[in-house]
Chain A
Amino acid sequence: MNIATIIEGLSRRDPRAIGRAISIVENHDPDAHALLDSLDPAKIEACLVVGITGPPGAGKSTLTAQLIKEYRRHEVRVGIVAVDPSSPLSGGALLGDRVRMMNHALDPDVVIRSMATRGRLGGVCGSAGAAVRIMAHSACQVVLIETVGVGQSEMDIVRMADLTAMVLAPGLGDDIQAMKAGLLEVADVLVVNKADLRGADALLLDMESVAQQRQDRQGRTTRVCATIASKGDGVAELVQIFNDMNEMFQKSGEKAQRRLQARRYEVIDWAVELIRPRIADSVADKAAFNGDPMLLAQDILVGMGLQTKKD
Protein backbone atom coordinates (compact mmCIF):
# COMPACT_ATOMS: atom_id res chain seq x y z
CA MET A 1 0.00 0.00 0.00
CA ASN A 2 1.64 3.28 -1.04
CA ILE A 3 1.23 6.53 0.82
CA ALA A 4 -1.23 8.04 -1.68
CA THR A 5 -3.52 5.01 -1.35
CA ILE A 6 -3.30 5.25 2.43
CA ILE A 7 -4.15 8.95 2.47
CA GLU A 8 -7.04 8.34 0.11
CA GLY A 9 -8.17 5.35 2.20
CA LEU A 10 -8.31 7.40 5.40
CA SER A 11 -11.08 9.59 4.08
CA ARG A 12 -12.98 6.43 3.07
CA ARG A 13 -12.59 5.19 6.66
CA ASP A 14 -10.75 2.14 5.33
CA PRO A 15 -9.56 0.13 8.36
CA ARG A 16 -6.46 -1.08 6.51
CA ALA A 17 -5.43 2.49 5.67
CA ILE A 18 -6.01 3.65 9.25
CA GLY A 19 -3.91 0.78 10.61
CA ARG A 20 -1.08 1.41 8.13
CA ALA A 21 -1.15 5.16 8.74
CA ILE A 22 -0.69 4.79 12.50
CA SER A 23 2.23 2.39 11.94
CA ILE A 24 3.89 4.86 9.61
CA VAL A 25 3.87 7.54 12.28
CA GLU A 26 4.77 5.12 15.05
CA ASN A 27 7.81 3.88 13.14
CA HIS A 28 8.97 7.37 12.16
CA ASP A 29 8.66 6.35 8.52
CA PRO A 30 9.66 9.08 6.04
CA ASP A 31 6.09 8.98 4.65
CA ALA A 32 4.80 10.31 7.98
CA HIS A 33 5.36 13.89 6.81
CA ALA A 34 3.05 13.71 3.80
CA LEU A 35 0.54 11.72 5.79
CA LEU A 36 0.29 14.09 8.77
CA ASP A 37 0.25 17.04 6.41
CA SER A 38 -2.85 15.67 4.69
CA LEU A 39 -5.03 15.47 7.81
CA ASP A 40 -8.08 17.71 8.03
CA PRO A 41 -7.69 20.23 10.89
CA ALA A 42 -11.47 20.83 11.04
CA LYS A 43 -12.19 17.18 11.78
CA ILE A 44 -9.42 17.08 14.37
CA GLU A 45 -10.83 20.22 15.94
CA ALA A 46 -14.33 18.77 16.14
CA CYS A 47 -13.29 15.48 17.72
CA LEU A 48 -13.61 14.98 21.49
CA VAL A 49 -10.52 13.37 23.01
CA VAL A 50 -11.09 11.73 26.39
CA GLY A 51 -8.28 10.33 28.53
CA ILE A 52 -9.08 7.31 30.67
CA THR A 53 -6.44 6.89 33.33
CA GLY A 54 -6.01 5.34 36.75
CA PRO A 55 -4.01 2.78 38.70
CA PRO A 56 -3.59 -0.78 37.38
CA GLY A 57 -6.62 -2.92 38.09
CA ALA A 58 -9.06 -0.06 38.63
CA GLY A 59 -11.06 -1.21 35.61
CA LYS A 60 -9.94 1.13 32.83
CA SER A 61 -10.27 -1.40 30.01
CA THR A 62 -13.62 -2.73 31.19
CA LEU A 63 -14.93 0.81 31.54
CA THR A 64 -13.55 1.75 28.13
CA ALA A 65 -15.35 -1.22 26.58
CA GLN A 66 -18.60 -0.04 28.20
CA LEU A 67 -18.01 3.51 26.98
CA ILE A 68 -17.64 2.16 23.44
CA LYS A 69 -20.98 0.39 23.81
CA GLU A 70 -22.67 3.53 25.10
CA TYR A 71 -21.25 5.74 22.34
CA ARG A 72 -22.32 3.18 19.73
CA ARG A 73 -25.82 3.22 21.19
CA HIS A 74 -25.83 6.90 20.20
CA GLU A 75 -24.30 6.00 16.82
CA VAL A 76 -21.12 7.89 17.56
CA ARG A 77 -18.10 6.63 15.63
CA VAL A 78 -15.43 6.05 18.24
CA GLY A 79 -11.68 5.52 18.24
CA ILE A 80 -9.65 3.94 21.02
CA VAL A 81 -5.93 4.26 21.62
CA ALA A 82 -5.08 1.66 24.26
CA VAL A 83 -1.60 2.03 25.70
CA ASP A 84 0.29 -0.67 27.57
CA PRO A 85 3.89 -0.60 28.79
CA SER A 86 6.87 -1.80 26.78
CA SER A 87 9.24 -4.13 28.59
CA PRO A 88 12.30 -2.22 29.80
CA LEU A 89 14.33 -5.40 29.26
CA SER A 90 13.33 -6.68 25.82
CA GLY A 91 11.52 -3.67 24.37
CA GLY A 92 8.62 -6.01 23.63
CA ALA A 93 5.11 -5.60 24.96
CA LEU A 94 2.01 -7.61 25.67
CA LEU A 95 -0.94 -5.50 24.58
CA GLY A 96 -3.98 -7.01 26.23
CA ASP A 97 -6.52 -4.21 26.46
CA ARG A 98 -8.26 -5.45 23.36
CA VAL A 99 -9.39 -8.64 25.08
CA ARG A 100 -12.15 -6.69 26.82
CA MET A 101 -13.11 -4.81 23.66
CA MET A 102 -13.42 -7.74 21.25
CA ASN A 103 -17.21 -7.57 21.25
CA HIS A 104 -16.83 -4.57 18.99
CA ALA A 105 -14.27 -6.15 16.65
CA LEU A 106 -16.70 -6.39 13.74
CA ASP A 107 -18.20 -2.93 14.14
CA PRO A 108 -16.67 -0.76 11.38
CA ASP A 109 -17.29 2.34 13.49
CA VAL A 110 -15.10 1.21 16.38
CA VAL A 111 -11.44 1.82 15.59
CA ILE A 112 -9.12 0.27 18.15
CA ARG A 113 -5.37 0.55 18.19
CA SER A 114 -3.14 -0.96 20.89
CA MET A 115 0.12 0.89 21.37
CA ALA A 116 3.20 0.22 23.48
CA THR A 117 4.89 3.03 25.40
CA ARG A 118 8.23 2.33 23.66
CA GLY A 119 10.24 3.88 26.46
CA ARG A 120 8.05 6.86 27.23
CA LEU A 121 7.35 7.26 30.94
CA GLY A 122 4.40 9.64 30.99
CA GLY A 123 1.73 6.96 30.75
CA VAL A 124 1.11 7.40 27.03
CA CYS A 125 3.23 6.63 23.96
CA GLY A 126 4.92 9.25 21.79
CA SER A 127 2.70 8.62 18.80
CA ALA A 128 -0.63 8.64 20.64
CA GLY A 129 -1.37 12.22 19.57
CA ALA A 130 -0.81 11.39 15.92
CA ALA A 131 -2.93 8.23 16.24
CA VAL A 132 -5.76 10.34 17.66
CA ARG A 133 -5.52 12.79 14.76
CA ILE A 134 -5.53 9.98 12.20
CA MET A 135 -8.66 8.55 13.82
CA ALA A 136 -10.31 11.98 13.95
CA HIS A 137 -9.48 12.51 10.28
CA SER A 138 -11.14 9.22 9.44
CA ALA A 139 -14.35 10.52 11.02
CA CYS A 140 -14.11 9.32 14.62
CA GLN A 141 -16.19 11.78 16.62
CA VAL A 142 -14.83 10.65 19.97
CA VAL A 143 -11.41 9.16 20.69
CA LEU A 144 -10.72 7.50 24.02
CA ILE A 145 -7.10 7.19 25.11
CA GLU A 146 -6.63 4.48 27.70
CA THR A 147 -3.32 5.02 29.49
CA VAL A 148 -1.10 2.45 31.12
CA GLY A 149 -1.85 1.85 34.78
CA VAL A 150 -0.53 4.99 36.41
CA GLY A 151 0.83 6.09 39.76
CA GLN A 152 0.95 9.73 40.64
CA SER A 153 2.92 11.58 38.04
CA GLU A 154 1.97 10.30 34.60
CA MET A 155 0.58 13.64 33.47
CA ASP A 156 0.98 13.23 29.73
CA ILE A 157 -2.63 12.24 29.32
CA VAL A 158 -3.92 15.38 30.97
CA ARG A 159 -1.92 17.48 28.54
CA MET A 160 -3.09 15.49 25.55
CA ALA A 161 -6.82 15.01 26.14
CA ASP A 162 -9.70 17.49 26.09
CA LEU A 163 -11.05 15.77 29.20
CA THR A 164 -9.44 13.34 31.59
CA ALA A 165 -11.28 10.77 33.67
CA MET A 166 -9.43 9.21 36.55
CA VAL A 167 -10.73 5.72 37.28
CA LEU A 168 -10.41 4.59 40.89
CA ALA A 169 -11.62 1.57 42.78
CA PRO A 170 -12.07 0.82 46.48
CA GLY A 171 -9.34 -1.13 48.19
CA LEU A 172 -6.48 0.90 46.77
CA GLY A 173 -6.62 3.27 49.75
CA ASP A 174 -2.99 4.07 50.33
CA ASP A 175 -2.33 4.60 46.66
CA ILE A 176 -5.11 7.12 46.54
CA GLN A 177 -3.62 9.10 49.38
CA ALA A 178 -0.37 9.13 47.47
CA MET A 179 -2.06 10.35 44.32
CA LYS A 180 -3.75 13.28 45.94
CA ALA A 181 -0.96 15.65 45.05
CA GLY A 182 -0.70 14.35 41.52
CA LEU A 183 -3.10 13.19 38.85
CA LEU A 184 -6.10 13.38 41.13
CA GLU A 185 -5.57 17.12 41.26
CA VAL A 186 -5.87 17.63 37.54
CA ALA A 187 -8.41 15.05 36.35
CA ASP A 188 -11.78 16.47 35.26
CA VAL A 189 -13.90 13.48 36.20
CA LEU A 190 -13.25 11.21 39.17
CA VAL A 191 -14.80 7.82 38.47
CA VAL A 192 -15.36 5.51 41.42
CA ASN A 193 -15.53 2.15 39.67
CA LYS A 194 -16.46 -1.19 41.26
CA ALA A 195 -19.03 0.81 43.21
CA ASP A 196 -20.60 -2.40 44.46
CA LEU A 197 -17.50 -3.33 46.44
CA ARG A 198 -16.93 -2.64 50.11
CA GLY A 199 -15.35 0.73 50.69
CA ALA A 200 -16.90 2.32 47.60
CA ASP A 201 -19.13 4.65 49.60
CA ALA A 202 -16.19 5.98 51.57
CA LEU A 203 -14.17 6.46 48.40
CA LEU A 204 -17.07 8.26 46.77
CA LEU A 205 -17.35 10.64 49.74
CA ASP A 206 -13.59 11.21 49.59
CA MET A 207 -13.74 12.07 45.91
CA GLU A 208 -16.71 14.35 46.39
CA SER A 209 -14.77 16.25 48.99
CA VAL A 210 -11.78 16.50 46.63
CA ALA A 211 -14.12 17.92 43.98
CA GLN A 212 -15.71 20.35 46.41
CA GLN A 213 -12.35 21.60 47.64
CA ARG A 214 -11.22 22.21 44.12
CA GLN A 215 -14.38 24.16 43.39
CA ASP A 216 -13.95 26.26 46.53
CA ARG A 217 -10.27 26.95 46.16
CA GLN A 218 -9.71 27.12 42.41
CA GLY A 219 -13.17 27.58 41.00
CA ARG A 220 -12.62 24.50 38.85
CA THR A 221 -15.42 22.09 38.12
CA THR A 222 -14.70 18.45 38.84
CA ARG A 223 -17.38 15.84 38.44
CA VAL A 224 -17.63 12.60 40.38
CA CYS A 225 -19.32 9.51 39.01
CA ALA A 226 -19.89 6.03 40.42
CA THR A 227 -19.78 3.08 38.01
CA ILE A 228 -19.87 -0.69 38.01
CA ALA A 229 -18.15 -1.20 34.67
CA SER A 230 -18.55 -4.98 34.67
CA LYS A 231 -22.34 -4.47 34.56
CA GLY A 232 -22.42 -1.19 32.66
CA ASP A 233 -23.96 0.70 35.59
CA GLY A 234 -23.30 4.44 35.60
CA VAL A 235 -21.78 4.45 32.12
CA ALA A 236 -24.60 6.40 30.47
CA GLU A 237 -24.25 9.01 33.22
CA LEU A 238 -20.50 9.16 32.62
CA VAL A 239 -20.97 9.81 28.90
CA GLN A 240 -23.48 12.53 29.80
CA ILE A 241 -20.87 14.11 32.07
CA PHE A 242 -18.31 14.02 29.22
CA ASN A 243 -20.79 15.69 26.89
CA ASP A 244 -21.75 18.36 29.43
CA MET A 245 -18.15 19.17 30.30
CA ASN A 246 -17.14 19.26 26.66
CA GLU A 247 -19.90 21.71 25.90
CA MET A 248 -18.94 23.83 28.89
CA PHE A 249 -15.25 23.83 27.90
CA GLN A 250 -16.10 24.71 24.33
CA LYS A 251 -18.14 27.70 25.41
CA SER A 252 -15.64 28.92 27.97
CA GLY A 253 -12.68 28.63 25.60
CA GLU A 254 -11.09 26.03 27.88
CA LYS A 255 -11.05 23.43 25.12
CA ALA A 256 -9.19 25.74 22.71
CA GLN A 257 -6.78 26.66 25.48
CA ARG A 258 -6.09 23.00 26.27
CA ARG A 259 -5.61 22.11 22.62
CA LEU A 260 -3.09 24.92 22.22
CA GLN A 261 -1.22 23.80 25.31
CA ALA A 262 -1.33 20.18 24.10
CA ARG A 263 0.18 21.20 20.77
CA ARG A 264 3.00 23.02 22.51
CA TYR A 265 3.84 20.03 24.65
CA GLU A 266 3.63 17.66 21.72
CA VAL A 267 5.93 19.78 19.59
CA ILE A 268 8.49 19.81 22.40
CA ASP A 269 8.12 16.04 22.87
CA TRP A 270 8.59 15.35 19.18
CA ALA A 271 11.58 17.67 18.94
CA VAL A 272 13.26 15.80 21.78
CA GLU A 273 12.18 12.45 20.31
CA LEU A 274 13.58 13.26 16.88
CA ILE A 275 16.91 14.48 18.20
CA ARG A 276 17.33 11.61 20.68
CA PRO A 277 19.09 9.22 18.23
CA ARG A 278 21.71 11.87 17.41
CA ILE A 279 22.34 12.47 21.08
CA ALA A 280 22.55 8.73 21.66
CA ASP A 281 25.19 8.54 18.93
CA SER A 282 27.24 11.30 20.58
CA VAL A 283 27.08 9.47 23.88
CA ALA A 284 28.25 6.27 22.22
CA ASP A 285 31.16 8.19 20.67
CA LYS A 286 32.50 9.49 23.92
CA ALA A 287 34.52 6.50 25.04
CA ALA A 288 35.81 7.98 28.26
CA PHE A 289 33.20 9.55 30.43
CA ASN A 290 34.79 11.89 32.86
CA GLY A 291 33.03 14.83 34.36
CA ASP A 292 29.50 15.65 35.35
CA PRO A 293 26.68 14.27 33.14
CA MET A 294 24.96 17.64 32.92
CA LEU A 295 28.14 19.31 31.68
CA LEU A 296 28.67 16.53 29.15
CA ALA A 297 25.10 17.00 27.94
CA GLN A 298 25.79 20.70 27.45
CA ASP A 299 28.94 19.84 25.48
CA ILE A 300 26.92 17.61 23.19
CA LEU A 301 24.34 20.33 22.53
CA VAL A 302 27.11 22.84 21.87
CA GLY A 303 28.66 20.35 19.45
CA MET A 304 25.33 20.10 17.63
CA GLY A 305 25.07 23.87 17.44
CA LEU A 306 22.00 23.89 19.66
CA GLN A 307 23.60 25.78 22.48
CA THR A 308 26.36 28.36 22.63
CA LYS A 309 29.37 27.73 24.78
CA LYS A 310 29.35 29.64 28.05
CA ASP A 311 32.74 30.37 29.57
Chain B
Amino acid sequence: MSKKYRVLIGKPGLDGHDRGAKVIAQALRDKGFEVIYTGIRRSPAEIAAAAVQEDVDVVGLSSLSGAHLRLFPAVVEELAKADAHDIAVVGGGVIPTEDIATLKAAGIREIFTPGATLEEVIGAFQSACEEREK
Protein backbone atom coordinates (compact mmCIF):
# COMPACT_ATOMS: atom_id res chain seq x y z
CA MET B 1 0.00 0.00 0.00
CA SER B 2 1.68 3.21 -1.08
CA LYS B 3 -1.13 5.46 0.10
CA LYS B 4 -0.87 5.96 3.85
CA TYR B 5 -3.79 7.45 5.72
CA ARG B 6 -2.91 10.64 7.53
CA VAL B 7 -5.04 11.97 10.36
CA LEU B 8 -4.76 14.83 12.80
CA ILE B 9 -5.75 14.70 16.44
CA GLY B 10 -6.47 18.08 17.97
CA LYS B 11 -7.73 19.45 21.22
CA PRO B 12 -9.60 22.69 20.70
CA GLY B 13 -10.41 24.97 23.60
CA LEU B 14 -9.16 25.34 27.10
CA ASP B 15 -9.28 21.94 28.71
CA GLY B 16 -5.93 20.25 29.08
CA HIS B 17 -7.08 16.68 29.62
CA ASP B 18 -5.40 14.96 26.73
CA ARG B 19 -5.18 11.38 27.95
CA GLY B 20 -8.06 10.36 25.69
CA ALA B 21 -6.62 12.14 22.66
CA LYS B 22 -3.28 10.43 23.21
CA VAL B 23 -4.87 6.98 23.62
CA ILE B 24 -6.69 7.44 20.32
CA ALA B 25 -3.53 8.77 18.63
CA GLN B 26 -1.52 5.74 19.71
CA ALA B 27 -4.25 3.29 18.78
CA LEU B 28 -4.40 4.83 15.30
CA ARG B 29 -0.62 4.64 14.99
CA ASP B 30 -0.78 0.95 15.92
CA LYS B 31 -3.30 0.42 13.13
CA GLY B 32 -0.93 1.93 10.58
CA PHE B 33 -2.17 5.53 10.43
CA GLU B 34 0.19 8.48 10.35
CA VAL B 35 -1.06 10.63 13.18
CA ILE B 36 -0.25 14.29 13.61
CA TYR B 37 -0.83 15.51 17.13
CA THR B 38 -1.25 19.23 17.75
CA GLY B 39 -1.14 19.33 21.53
CA ILE B 40 -3.65 20.95 23.87
CA ARG B 41 -5.40 24.33 23.91
CA ARG B 42 -5.61 25.04 20.21
CA SER B 43 -8.04 27.29 18.46
CA PRO B 44 -10.29 25.88 15.71
CA ALA B 45 -8.41 28.07 13.18
CA GLU B 46 -5.05 26.66 14.28
CA ILE B 47 -6.30 23.09 14.02
CA ALA B 48 -7.78 23.67 10.56
CA ALA B 49 -4.62 25.40 9.32
CA ALA B 50 -2.50 22.49 10.55
CA ALA B 51 -4.86 19.97 8.92
CA VAL B 52 -4.55 21.77 5.59
CA GLN B 53 -0.75 22.01 5.73
CA GLU B 54 -0.47 18.38 6.71
CA ASP B 55 -3.05 17.37 4.09
CA VAL B 56 -4.74 14.90 6.42
CA ASP B 57 -7.75 12.78 5.50
CA VAL B 58 -9.53 13.17 8.82
CA VAL B 59 -9.42 15.53 11.80
CA GLY B 60 -10.26 14.01 15.18
CA LEU B 61 -11.28 16.43 17.92
CA SER B 62 -11.40 15.78 21.64
CA SER B 63 -13.20 17.95 24.14
CA LEU B 64 -13.91 17.41 27.82
CA SER B 65 -14.76 20.99 28.69
CA GLY B 66 -18.35 21.22 27.51
CA ALA B 67 -17.53 23.71 24.76
CA HIS B 68 -17.93 21.18 21.92
CA LEU B 69 -21.07 22.83 20.48
CA ARG B 70 -19.05 25.91 19.75
CA LEU B 71 -15.62 24.44 19.00
CA PHE B 72 -16.35 21.41 16.81
CA PRO B 73 -18.49 23.23 14.23
CA ALA B 74 -15.93 26.06 14.22
CA VAL B 75 -13.28 23.60 12.97
CA VAL B 76 -15.64 22.46 10.18
CA GLU B 77 -16.20 26.10 9.19
CA GLU B 78 -12.49 26.91 9.21
CA LEU B 79 -11.77 23.91 6.99
CA ALA B 80 -14.46 25.04 4.58
CA LYS B 81 -12.95 28.52 4.49
CA ALA B 82 -9.63 26.97 3.51
CA ASP B 83 -11.27 25.12 0.62
CA ALA B 84 -10.89 21.84 2.51
CA HIS B 85 -14.49 20.61 2.79
CA ASP B 86 -13.27 17.17 1.86
CA ILE B 87 -11.37 16.72 5.14
CA ALA B 88 -13.73 14.84 7.45
CA VAL B 89 -14.13 15.81 11.10
CA VAL B 90 -14.96 13.36 13.90
CA GLY B 91 -15.20 14.19 17.57
CA GLY B 92 -15.29 12.65 20.99
CA GLY B 93 -15.35 13.46 24.67
CA VAL B 94 -17.84 14.24 27.37
CA ILE B 95 -20.75 15.07 25.10
CA PRO B 96 -24.42 14.85 26.13
CA THR B 97 -26.55 12.61 23.90
CA GLU B 98 -28.85 15.50 23.02
CA ASP B 99 -25.96 17.43 21.45
CA ILE B 100 -25.02 14.69 19.01
CA ALA B 101 -27.68 15.51 16.43
CA THR B 102 -26.74 19.21 16.53
CA LEU B 103 -23.09 18.39 15.96
CA LYS B 104 -23.84 15.99 13.11
CA ALA B 105 -26.04 18.61 11.49
CA ALA B 106 -23.08 21.00 11.72
CA GLY B 107 -20.96 18.62 9.67
CA ILE B 108 -19.26 16.46 12.30
CA ARG B 109 -19.24 13.02 10.75
CA GLU B 110 -19.22 10.95 13.91
CA ILE B 111 -19.38 11.60 17.66
CA PHE B 112 -18.03 9.27 20.32
CA THR B 113 -18.96 9.45 23.96
CA PRO B 114 -17.55 7.65 27.02
CA GLY B 115 -17.90 3.91 26.56
CA ALA B 116 -17.10 3.90 22.85
CA THR B 117 -14.61 1.17 21.98
CA LEU B 118 -11.28 1.80 20.26
CA GLU B 119 -12.48 -0.41 17.40
CA GLU B 120 -15.48 1.85 16.83
CA VAL B 121 -13.36 4.99 16.89
CA ILE B 122 -10.68 3.59 14.58
CA GLY B 123 -13.41 2.24 12.29
CA ALA B 124 -14.78 5.76 11.88
CA PHE B 125 -11.35 7.12 10.92
CA GLN B 126 -10.83 4.20 8.56
CA SER B 127 -14.12 4.63 6.70
CA ALA B 128 -13.68 8.40 6.42
CA CYS B 129 -10.21 7.89 4.94
CA GLU B 130 -11.46 5.29 2.49
CA GLU B 131 -14.28 7.55 1.37
CA ARG B 132 -11.94 10.46 0.73
CA GLU B 133 -9.69 8.25 -1.37
CA LYS B 134 -12.50 7.48 -3.80
Stretch at the interface among B21-29, B100-108, B113-121: B21-29
Is B29 touching A92 in the complex (CB atoms < 8 A)? yes
Is B32 touching A90 in the complex (CB atoms < 8 A)? yes
B4 surroundings in chain A (CB, below 8 A)? 26-27, 91, 116, 118
Number of interface residues of A (CB under 8 A): 31
| Given A94-B29, A102-B46, A105-B42, residue A15 in contact with residue B37 (CB < 8 A) | no
B64 contacts A by Cβ under 8 Å: no
B45 contacts A by Cβ under 8 Å: yes
CB distance from B37 to the nearest CB of A (A): 5
Interface of B is mostly: mixed
A152 contacts B by Cβ under 8 Å: no
Which listed residue, A92, A99, A106, A113, touches B31 by the CB 8 Å rule? Answer: A92
Taken together as a complex, chains A and B put the C-alpha atoms of A94 and B38 apart, in Å, by 11
A-B contact pairs, 9 of them (CB 8 A): A20-B55, A23-B6, A94-B25, A95-B35, A102-B42, A105-B38, A105-B42, A105-B49, A106-B46
Question: In chain B, what residue has the closest Cβ to A112?
Answer: B53
A114 surroundings in chain B (CB, below 8 A)? 36, 54
CB distance from B2 to the nearest CB of A (A): 5
A111 contacts B by Cβ under 8 Å: yes
Is A102 touching B52 in the complex (CB atoms < 8 A)? no
A96 surroundings in chain B (CB, below 8 A)? 36-37
| Given A22-B55, A27-B2, A27-B3, residue A99 in contact with residue B82 (CB < 8 A) | no
Taken together as a complex, chains A and B put the C-alpha atoms of A202 and B19 apart, in Å, by 39
